[in-house]
Amino acid sequence: MAPWSTSIVFRAGHRIRVQVTSGDLPRWDRNLNTGEPEASATTARVPRQQIFHDPDRPSRVVLPVVR
């Protein structure tokens, strides 16, 4: 997944946080996590996100560096 264009300067010692969600209302349509059509869904399920980070399923965050 590619992030949209943005710019920020990280100084030495700065930290960032990566937040994983099932939706971002109102930026995108709601996601009730049932597989039903979003426009007519009425039932919601609590989502569960899982990020794999083992040798068989490595994960990473790649941020471009512009100097």
By the 8 A CB rule, do 30 and 38 touch?
Answer: yes
By the 8 A CB rule, do 34 and 43 touch?
Answer: yes
Say which residues have a Cβ less than 8 Å from residue 54's Cβ, sequence separation at least 6.
Answer: none
What pLDDT, on the 0 to 100 scale, is given for residue 1? 58
What pLDDT, on the 0 to 100 scale, is given for residue 55? 94
Residues 1-22 have a mean pLDDT of 79
Q: C-alpha 13: how far from its chain's center?
A: 24
Per-residue pLDDT of 18-55, as tens digits, reads 888 777 677 777 788 888 888 888 898 988 888 899 99
Q: Which residue has the higher pLDDT, 67 or 55?
A: 55
Residues 3-22 have a mean pLDDT of 81
